[in-house]
Amino acid sequence: MFGIETLSGNAQAAALVGVVLVEAMVLYVGYGALTAALGPSVRKAIGGE
């Protein structure tokens, strides 16, 4: 996946950890933006306001 198979040994291992790290950062930023956009309305809905 993502061409990682073409690498070997330590490079492949580092690339896999790197992909997980990048995915985590992207998800953090992505969900952060989503929370900022939808957070107040969700809070209002849950809070019953």
Partner 1 sequence: MSVFELFGMSAGMLALFVAFGVLIGVLFGFFGMGGSFLVTPALLVMGYPSRVAVGSGLAFVFGTSVIATLKHRDLGQVDYKLGISMIIGTTVGLEVGKEIVLYLEELGLAGNIISVTYVLLLGGIGLFVTYEALKGGNGGGVSHDVDGDADIDADDIPELAKKIQSYSLPPMITLRGGVKVSLWMILLVAFATGLLSGFLGVGGGFIRMPALFYLIGVPVPIAVGTDLFEIMFSGGIGSFLYAQSGGVDLSIVAPLLAGSALGARVGSAATSIVDEDEIKIYFGLMLLLGALAVAVRQAGNYLGMGVLDYVSLALILGSALMVSGAVLYSAVKSMRAPSAAGSSTAD
Give the x/- contact pattern for partner 1 in 6-45, rule: CB under 8 A.
---xx-xxx-xx-xxx-xxx-xx--xx--x-------x--
Compute the half-sphere exposure of residue 12: CA atoms within 13 Å on the CB side of its CA: 8
Shortest Cβ 25–partner 1 spacing (Å): 7
Selection from 6, 4, 23 nearest residue 14 by Cα: 4
List Cβ neighbours of 19 (8 Å cut-off, separation of 6 or more).
Answer: 2, 4
- Residues lying near partner 1 in the complex (CB under 8 A): 1-2, 4, 9-10, 12-14, 16-17, 19-21, 23-25, 27-28, 31-32, 35, 43, 46-48
